[in-house]
Amino acid sequence: MELRRLQQLLVAGLTKTAALWPVIRQAYAWVHRAAHLLENETGHDVWELRRAYRGVLAEMQAGRPTLGELAPAVGHFRKVTTSYWPGLFRCYTTPGLPRTNNDLEQCFGSARYHERRATGRKGASPALVVRGRVRLVAALATQVQPLRVEELQPADVATWRQLREELDARQEARRAQLRFRRDPDRYLSNLEERLLKLSLPP
């Protein structure tokens, strides 16, 4: 009895929405084709893959006026794809680079796990917040293979110095936040005094 009633509800729902299904099938067919291309199970060359993916996006754009209320969803899909485009195919040319966000999240999860084991903190440590762009890369790189001594030497000294300056600036910002939390009145007073000195004529 219950199954018969459920079947009647499903039939009634499908009948009332029958006019919507053709455009839904078309939109999802494009999305599934895009996903199948990104799977790249046949091992296509990356340039061939990019060309085929662009073809799907062009079809979506050309067929968008026929989709009615789903047209904005196709526009959103194309917009998001455009924003990801610079790195969308990098996993096919960089050995060991995770292909999906889920795979990448597992790498970050591993780094967080080892950080918690080393520091005893449940949350992210201040050092990871300040120097994460270096420490995470180092942690992930050493999981692939141990680094040799000569590989630790900076290949581009100017870029290395710039990175050091950026990390030092972030460290100083963290120190300033700590000073403010400990004594807001004193921090603001010192800041006001420095601003007054800057505004006075030499």
pLDDT in tens, 22-42: 888 888 899 899 989 888 887
pLDDT for 51 equals 92
Same domain, 140 and 166: no
Last residue of a domain, one of 43, 58, 92: 92
Q: Are residues 168 and 190 in the same domain?
A: yes
Q: pTM of the entire structure? A: 0.54
Which range marks the domain in which residue 125 is found? 98-153
Q: How far apart are CA 192 and CA 64, in angstroms?
A: 57
Q: With 0-12 CB in 10 A as exposed, 13-18 as middle and 19+ as buried, what is 74? A: buried
Same-domain pairing of 113 and 185: no
- Of the pLDDT bands very low, low, confident and very high (cuts 50, 70, 90), residue 122 is confident
Of the residues 74, 92, 110, which one is the last residue of a structural domain?
A: 92
Range scoring the smallest mean pLDDT among 10-19, 132-141, 148-157: 132-141
Residue 46: Cβ within 10 Å count: 13
Cα–Cα distance measured from residue 66 to residue 30, given in angstroms and rounded to the nearest whole number:
14
Find tokens 């062009």 and name the residue.
58
Q: How far is CA 198 from CA 184, 185, 201, in A?
A: 21, 20, 8
Q: Do residues 86 and 107 both lie within one domain?
A: no
Q: What is the pLDDT of residue 200?
A: 66
102 and 86 share one domain? no
- Count of the separate structural domains present in the chain: 3
Q: Which two tokens stand for residue 60?
A: 């979506």
Contact 74, 67 (CB under 8 A): yes
* Pair (109, 175) in one structural domain: no
Q: Are residues 11 and 66 in the same domain?
A: yes
